[in-house]
Structure 1
Amino acid sequence: MPGRLVFLATTHRVAPGLLSWRAWRALGEGQVLAASLDHPQVPYLSEAEITVRPVSARSSSPAELAGLLVEHAGTAGSPVVWLADVDGDEDLMRALGELVTADPDAAPEVEVVHGSYDLPGARLLDLVTTMDQLRRQCPWDRDQTHRSLAPHLLEEAYEAVEAIETDDLAALREELGDVLLQVAFHARIAEESDDDETHFSVDDVAAGIVDKLVRRHPHVFGDVEVSGAEEVKTNWEEIKRAEKRRSSAVEGIPLGQPALALAHALQRRAARAGVPDDLIASFARDGIGGELFAAVARSREQGVDPEAALRHVAREFRDRLLAVEEAGRAEGHNPSDLGPEKWRDRWRST
């Protein structure tokens, strides 16, 4: 008989020895082979009194190893279990597939058994591991501090916002990765602190946000009933107020944020605290600052984010300017040499 070959796949993101029942059953029924006894699962299989035999695969091509396994499965008299490498042994699987499809009658039954699986978010473990290695081995990463990284955190956040506003989802995926790197980087730095008040890990960061989300969603994780999204927002603010125990409605608003966003946040908090809209709008002072503050008040009354609205207009201005410059170059002109009238003509016609 052609025999039976079990391809046992595991992930390095799950602790060795934590295997599915199907995996343990296959291991107990067959002869277990691996490329090396250095495989992370071997010590735990040894504890279960399961013998793993090494196969000299380091110098073999995937096709040669596939042929060896097929031959062994046909003569072993019991199922052969191949303990796949932690990288998945994709080339070996491809070579096995080619052998099976080339001569199905002479090939053993091949079954893939997943001993462990990557759960959603498992690749975050790779990020933590990579960041740890960079912090230890890269001179630049090793020298960084919370303060030195602060500009990068802002820059990556702005780039993510730009990707959203331009509907560039491919760029958004990349930029969110850059933002996530900043989270992992700051957590890794904090992990080195000897001060209990400033020491925390990425697990502490994740635990903190999970706990907050559970607390502030009692309609999901508790027995509170809500009528809709507005009541969810109201409950969130009430729970937040009880948690923070702030003495002022504007306490906790970061003053270092962009001025339009700052004015919008202050006005929004004031309105939530009961300050009438007419008092907020009438606070506008003389000068450009007062006019901008009044414009923010009008945008809030209209339900418009002033920061996003101004970015939209600024982006349109940039696009118009680029178009005029490109048109000028196409006509053989240097944009910096255009006089006021030519700028006006091209601005209107572009």
Structure 2
Amino acid sequence: MSDATSLLTVLVTSPRLPAGLMSRDAWTALEAAERVLASDLEDPLPAAIEVSGITVTALPYDSPAEAARALVDATRSGSVLWVGSPDADPGLTDALAEELTRLDEPPQIEVLVGSWDLPGARLLDAVAVMDALRSPGGCPWDAEQTHESLAKYLLEEAHETVEAIETGDTEHVAEELGDVLLQVLFHARIAADEDPGFDIDDVAGALVEKLIRRHPHVFGDGDASTPDEVERSWEQIKATEKADRDEDDLLAGIPVSLSPLLIAEKVLTRAARRDIQLTYDDKADLGTRLLALVAEARAAGTSADAALRAVLRQIARPATD
């Protein structure tokens, strides 16, 4: 017959945080438990607990059912705390539930969350997976890719993301953004093997510095309070950063591979910020009339490029009765 006070505590923590960074409740439970068990004492968390002076006993297992039986049996002689493995012990929760339901007097059981993932923590998983794919023993196709061989995929995934956004498929947007993120991680991992090179932390660090530098109204003493003022401030800061560009060239820095309609939008936006007045003649050449249509769309708060794609989708997939 089990002791009414017997307790099995399953401690779960985030493997993405340094071992030992746990809540006060977690450490209190560890100190109060009569036995602390873990499947592998060399895992980071059991090792950190041992360093703190709390004894951890190894309880290796071959199956979740075996672990569940052993843990429940261990509670017969007192309270037990199970230190969850980095892989979250797949199947153990279900096995424990099954084991407890067959007992007339099961021990009490609680799941104690010792630490939580911070927002963006899964990005660490993505970086680790990409590193494994490019490392020895990983994927041979991934290992032979270069910046040049991947360039077309970066462009393709960006276009697919735009299409998902325009069709309003939220789930598809999330998937396509993941594909774009993959390209960023892939290029950064390739660069990590180059000399000179860079890694994903360099990419993220440069981005953070740029965002802070270009948002002085948020992180500094800037006073931009409207979207238009923010855009003007952004352009001014950008011009200072890229002082070697020809300020009179409205095309400076715009990728030539961009859609001509999008290039036209950017040129018109730059012209407006510089108070350059443009006029359009209905009898002008085709290019000028196209530019006039882009200006008309811009004045209406829409994108001529997006509008044209929407019409093309309607033509390609006409509504059926």
TM-score in same-fold range (> 0.5): yes
Q: 1:269 to 1:70 in 2, by over 3 A?
A: same
Question: What amino acid is the match of 1:122?
Answer: A
Identity %: 46
CA distance in 2, matches of 1:129, 1:241: 37
CA contact (8 A) 2:224 2:233 kept: no
CA contact (8 A) 1:7 1:111 kept: yes
Q: TM-score, normalised by structure 2?
A: 0.87
Give, in angstroms, the shift of residue 111 of structure 1.
2.4
Q: Which moved more, 1:224-233 or 1:140-149?
A: 224-233
- The corresponding residue for 1:36 is 40
Q: Deviations over 1:176-201 (max 9, x none)?
A: 11011001011111111212xxx221
CA distance in 1, matches of 2:269, 2:304: 12
Q: 1:215 to 1:87 in 2, by over 3 A?
A: same
Give, in angstroms, the shift of residue 80 of structure 1.
1.2
Give, in angstroms, the shift of residue 244 of structure 1.
2.8
Q: 1:36 to 1:119 in 2, by over 3 A?
A: same
Give, in angstroms, the shift of residue 294 of structure 1.
3.4
Give, in angstroms, the shift of residue 223 of structure 1.
4.4
Give, in angstroms, the shift of residue 138 of structure 1.
1.6
Say if 2:96 is the partner of 1:93: no
CA contact (8 A) 2:232 2:273 kept: no
The aligned runs of 1:54-73 (5 Å cut-off) are 54-58=58-62, 61-73=63-75
- Structure 2, unaligned stretches of length 5 or more? none
Q: Which moved more, 1:257-266 or 1:48-57?
A: 48-57
Query: SS at 1:97's partner residue?
Result: helix
- The corresponding residue for 2:310 is 312
CA distance in 2, matches of 1:107, 1:231: 66
The aligned runs of 1:332-343 (5 Å cut-off) are none
Q: Deviations over 1:131-156 (max 9, x none)?
A: 11111222211111111111101111
Say if 2:230 is the partner of 1:232: yes
- The corresponding residue for 2:246 is 247
Give, in angstroms, the shift of residue 84 of structure 1.
1.3
Give, in angstroms, the shift of residue 237 of structure 1.
2.6
CA distance in 2, matches of 1:228, 1:263: 24
Q: Deviations over 1:95-114 (max 9, x none)?
A: 333455666x8222322222
Q: 1:257 to 1:108 in 2, by over 3 A?
A: same
Larger Rg: 1
Query: SS at 1:32's partner residue?
Result: strand
- The corresponding residue for 1:83 is 83
Q: TM-score, normalised by structure 1?
A: 0.80
CA distance in 1, matches of 2:97, 2:29: 20
The aligned runs of 1:23-172 (5 Å cut-off) are 23-30=26-33, 31-58=35-62, 61-76=63-78, 79-100=79-100, 106-136=105-135, 137-172=138-173
Give, in angstroms, the shift of residue 161 of structure 1.
0.8
- Decide which structure has greater helix share: 1
- Structure 1, unaligned stretches of length 5 or more? 324-349
CA contact (8 A) 2:11 2:114 kept: yes
CA distance in 2, matches of 1:145, 1:153: 12
CA distance in 2, matches of 1:239, 1:295: 30
Give, in angstroms, the shift of residue 52 of structure 1.
1.7
Give, in angstroms, the shift of residue 282 of structure 1.
5.9
CA contact (8 A) 2:133 2:139 kept: yes
CA contact (8 A) 1:284 1:294 kept: no
Say if 2:12 is the partner of 1:14: no
Give, in angstroms, the shift of residue 308 of structure 1.
0.8
Q: 1:284 to 1:265 in 2, by over 3 A?
A: farther
CA contact (8 A) 2:217 2:223 kept: yes
- The corresponding residue for 1:276 is 277
Query: SS at 2:91's partner residue?
Result: helix
Question: What amino acid is the match of 1:114?
Answer: V
Give, in angstroms, the shift of residue 298 of structure 1.
3.2
Q: 1:107 to 1:304 in 2, by over 3 A?
A: same
- The corresponding residue for 1:333 is none
- The corresponding residue for 1:342 is none
CA distance in 2, matches of 1:4, 1:115: 17
CA contact (8 A) 1:7 1:83 kept: yes
CA distance in 2, matches of 1:318, 1:67: 61
- The corresponding residue for 1:297 is 295
RMSD of Structure 2 on Structure 1 (CA): 2.5
Query: SS at 1:82's partner residue?
Result: strand
- The corresponding residue for 1:176 is 177
Question: What amino acid is the match of 1:41?
Answer: L
CA distance in 1, matches of 2:269, 2:87: 52
CA contact (8 A) 1:5 1:81 kept: yes
Q: Deviations over 1:241-272 (max 9, x none)?
A: 33333431532111221111122222221222
